[in-house]
């Protein structure tokens, strides 16, 4: 059973990499950000407040698999709300079992705390990032595809806010695990990132054999 943890910053390319790695190794893939996004959407739909831990916990405990397929989860406002709801300890606790059960069957999980909290014993841990301006440009292009009209500077401002919140929260903050392999994707194509990651995974998995 192979578990690959792909953590990293917002818009670093970790989702694209996680999916591609799962396809390469023929294992399952879980985008754990979707759990927080779906939780945030549930809070908002119920007229609640993502800043309130109790609202977040109720939403997380009532999450259903169907909640994860809504295309609106990809939107900027839901992502920002997800970052806010994810600071609560009870929200994270409510989503823990689902992630651990998924990991118990083997797969690639991408998120912020996979290598540090969810799967500290993952076979391979990758930490993906890129400069803030490069990530802002990538996210800007992605948002334009969904019809969201923001300038690169506005996206950059939101991204800095998100990086700060995700990495300074008290519970399970975004940070590389001590044994994570770092991948700075700033000047790399998607293909180059994938082959660098496969090289790391193959080398680590070979040692485990």
* Residue 132 CB, nearest approach to ligand DC (Å): 14
* Residue 192 CB, nearest approach to ligand DC (Å): 22
Q: Is 173 exposed, middle or buried (0-12, 13-18, 19+ CB in 10 A)?
A: middle
Q: Is 68 exposed, middle or buried (0-12, 13-18, 19+ CB in 10 A)?
A: middle
| 167 token code pair | 């990495």
Using rule CB under 6 A, residue 60 touches ligand DC: no
By CB under 6 A, what part of segment 68-127 binds ligand DC?
79, 82-83, 86, 111-113
Using rule CB under 6 A, residue 166 touches ligand DC: yes
Distance CA 142, CA 4 (A): 25
Q: Which stretch binds ligand DC (CB under 6 A): 33-41, 63-71, 179-187, 194-202?
A: 33-41
Using rule CB under 6 A, residue 18 touches ligand DC: no
* Residue 140 CB, nearest approach to ligand DC (Å): 15
Of 32, 129, 158, 185, which lies in the binding site for ligand DC, with binding defined by CB under 6 A?
32
Q: Which stretch binds ligand DC (CB under 6 A): 30-38, 59-67, 147-155, 199-207?
A: 30-38
Binding site for ligand DC (CB under 6 A): 10, 32-33, 36-37, 79, 82-83, 86, 111-113, 162, 166
């Amino acid at each position: 059973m192979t578990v690959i943890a792909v953590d990293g910053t917002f818009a670093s390319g970790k989702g694209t990499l996680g999916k591609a790695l799962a396809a390469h190794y023929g294992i399952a893939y879980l985008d754990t950000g979707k759990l927080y996004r779906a939780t945030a959407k549930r809070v908002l739909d119920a007229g609640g407040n993502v800043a309130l831990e109790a609202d977040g916990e109720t939403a997380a405990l009532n999450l259903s698999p169907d909640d994860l397929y809504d295309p609106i989860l990809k939107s900027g406002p839901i992502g920002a709300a997800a970052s806010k709801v994810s600071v609560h300890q009870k929200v994270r606790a409510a989503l823990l079992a689902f992630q651990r059960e998924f990991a118990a069957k083997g797969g690639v999980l991408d998120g912020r705390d996979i290598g540090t909290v969810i799967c500290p014993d993952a076979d391979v841990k990758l930490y993906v990032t890129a400069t803030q301006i490069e990530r802002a440009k990538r996210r800007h292009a992605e948002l334009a595809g969904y019809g969201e009209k923001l300038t690169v500077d506005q996206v950059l401002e939101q991204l800095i806010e998100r990086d700060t919140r995700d990495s300074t929260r008290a519970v399970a903050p975004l940070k590389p695990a001590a044994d994570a392999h770092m991948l700075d994707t700033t000047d790399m194509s998607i293909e180059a990132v994938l082959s660098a990651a496969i090289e790391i995974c193959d080398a680590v998995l070979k040692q485990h054999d």
